[in-house]
Structure 1
Amino acid sequence: MMNVMGIGGFRAVIKYDPEIEMFRGEFTDLNGGADFYAGDIEALKREGAQSLKVFLDMCEEDGVEPRKSYSGKFNVRVSTTLHEEIARAAAAEGKSLNQWVAEVLDQAAHR
């Protein structure tokens, strides 16, 4: 997946901030905020590892689960026209709307 860096078993989304001319990493699967900055990839890896360590140490100290949990459910609002088109596409493939959407999202998330 583009712009995602694995650090210590966790994943961070990486973006470049042209205003400060640095890369910014933000962990997405933590049960709280932890971000880090650096001017190059090697430094970004080091800063990410340090940021993660601080976060994990704090979680351990407070008795908090560090990894974010997901229920597997979320609501998506779309236009009535798109809803109709999605339902038609799902029916054409002999799938439920939920099954069709889950497969499309899975494909998009793993590009």
Structure 2
Amino acid sequence: MSQTLEYKGYNGSVLYSAEDRTLHGRIVGIRDTVTYEGTNVSALEKNFKSAVDEYLAFCQAEGKTPGTPFKGSFNVRISQDLHKRAALYAEEHNRKLNAVVNDALQEYLTHSA
């Protein structure tokens, strides 16, 4: 099972490099690349929190709005046929395509967990 770190509304990945014998990761869900590493779990967690704090401080100093993780919208590329089928299903059931996709994703994640 994949684990993530969480701090101030940001999530961070947890990966292991056998070559370097270190844990490392990046903040997920934002456009900016923010990475961190550590030689053990405690160091990784500490460095993740420091990376988030430094990212927020950098954005404030630059007058930049920090990336908002998981805003609730993303682009998905699917086949033309699947797009057509989903759109026709939505139309036939008097629903918006976004609602159909949301329900399908919710159903998939509920049953695959």
Common fold by TM > 0.5: yes
SS at match of 1:12: strand
Gaps of 5+ in 2: none
Gaps of 5+ in 1: none
Cα distance in 1 for residues equivalent to 2:57 and 2:110: 31
Q: 1:28, CA displacement in angstroms?
A: 1.8
SS at match of 1:16: strand
Does 2:54 correspond to 1:54?
Answer: yes
Q: 1:76, CA displacement in angstroms?
A: 2.5
Judged with a 3 Å threshold, the aligned counterparts in structure 2 of structure 1 residues 10 and 107 are, in CA distance, closer, same or farther, namely: farther
Query: 1:59-98 alignment to 2 at 5 Å?
Result: 59-68=59-68, 72-83=72-83, 86=86, 96-98=96-98
Q: Quote the sequence identity (%).
A: 23
Cα distance in 1 for residues equivalent to 2:98 and 2:57: 39
Moved over 3 A (4+): 69-75, 80-97, 106-111
Query: 1:18-37 alignment to 2 at 5 Å?
Result: 18-30=18-30, 32-37=32-37
Q: How many residues align?
A: 111
Contact preservation (8 Å) 1:7, 1:45: no
Q: 1:29, CA displacement in angstroms?
A: 3.9
Q: 1:39, CA displacement in angstroms?
A: 2.4
